[in-house]
Amino acid sequence: MAARKKSRSRKSSGRKYSKGAGKTVASAMRRKKSGTLRSGKGGKGGKVKSRKQAIAIGLSEARKKGARVPKKKAA
């Protein structure tokens, strides 16, 4: 029997998100907690209550600032 090597997928080295993106998300989470984070264009929507939505808003703001953030997944 011939011994076969198993091919293992390796984790990519480096960060997925930049440090700046993390700070922007943390800022959005703080605004959610204080009740000032709002959804919609220009903050015209309602108050954000969902944790996931707060993270999404933070990542979106980080993208606009030019931080390294993976592209949005297509729905």
Domain containing 31 equals 19-65
What is the tally of structural domains in the chain?
1
Query: What DSSP letter does each residue of 2-63 carry, written as one string?
Result: PPPPPP-PPPPSS-SS-HHHHHHHHHHHHHHHHT--B-SGGG-S-B---HHHHHHHHHHHHH
Residues of the chain with pLDDT under 70: 1-13, 75
Q: Is the Cα torsion angle 55, 52, 57, 66 positive or negative in sign? A: positive
Indicate whether 44 belongs to any domain.
Answer: yes
pTM for the model stands at: 0.74
Position 43 scores a pLDDT of: 84
Indicate whether 7 belongs to any domain.
Answer: no
Indicate whether 54 belongs to any domain.
Answer: yes
Indicate whether 47 belongs to any domain.
Answer: yes
Indicate whether 25 belongs to any domain.
Answer: yes
Indicate whether 70 belongs to any domain.
Answer: no
